[in-house]
Chains A and B, each alone.
With several copies, the nearest count.
Chain A
């Protein structure tokens, strides 16, 4: 049995455009403690790649924009979304 705080959630993280270039990769697996939120993942990312913090990124979970309070589940697809520029 896993205790809270242990690694129990693995999410797929996708990074695009400027965030992909900063992280050096378009897709990674991220391991998080049980009950971790999107905010926790964001803080981890910003710590690893400080330049990401200057990008005004949003995040999506399973292809929808969601609040940073969203609790991540094992197998979630999280996307780091810098300011979009379509059209």
Chain B
């Protein structure tokens, strides 16, 4: 679906498609968080990452996070979240979150909350692959 707000995909992801989804006549501000694969994790060189998801539940949980955000920050109008899965190279985008609001003040805290919740509760897993091994990683 062209206008689906909560998406797990194995395709390359970008910020502007989500921004475009959220821009309406009354949305004066759109903020995005773009999470990028880093080449270094706790001092070890990362060769690539493998992301795995429970996609149907992941998309439902993303929608739940959007509802949490709008409940806490009523000025936030729209939320869109896309997470990529499969093999990701260093420098590629793993997640994009976009929020829109008519005015600025709410969106920064709301964006911070949204990415924290994505990392806490969305059923997506990340395996770091190094030259000499690999490991499933979690911030929990």
Q: How many A-B residue pairs have CB under 8 A?
A: 74
The 8 A CB mask of A56-87 against B (1 = contact, 0 = none) is: 10001001110000000000000101111111
Number of interface residues of A (CB under 8 A): 18
Which chain A positions have C-beta within 8 A of B138?
82-85
Q: Which of A1-9, A11-19, A45-53 contacts B (4 or more CB under 8 A)?
A: A11-19
Could you tell me if B123 and A79 are in contact, using CB atoms closer than 8 angstroms? yes
Number of interface residues of B (CB under 8 A): 28
Could you tell me if A16 and B140 are in contact, using CB atoms closer than 8 angstroms? no
Beyond the given pairs A65-B121, A83-B140, 17 more chain A to chain B contacts, judged by CB atoms under 8 angstroms and listed by A's residue number, are A16-B53, A16-B54, A16-B125, A17-B127, A56-B140, A60-B54, A60-B57, A63-B54, A64-B57, A79-B123, A84-B121, A84-B124, A86-B58, A86-B94, A86-B95, A86-B122, A86-B126
Residues on A lying within 8 angstroms of B by beta carbon are 14, 16-18, 20, 56, 60, 63-65, 79, 81-87
Residues on B lying within 8 angstroms of A by beta carbon are 35, 51-54, 56-58, 60, 83, 94-95, 115, 118-127, 136-140
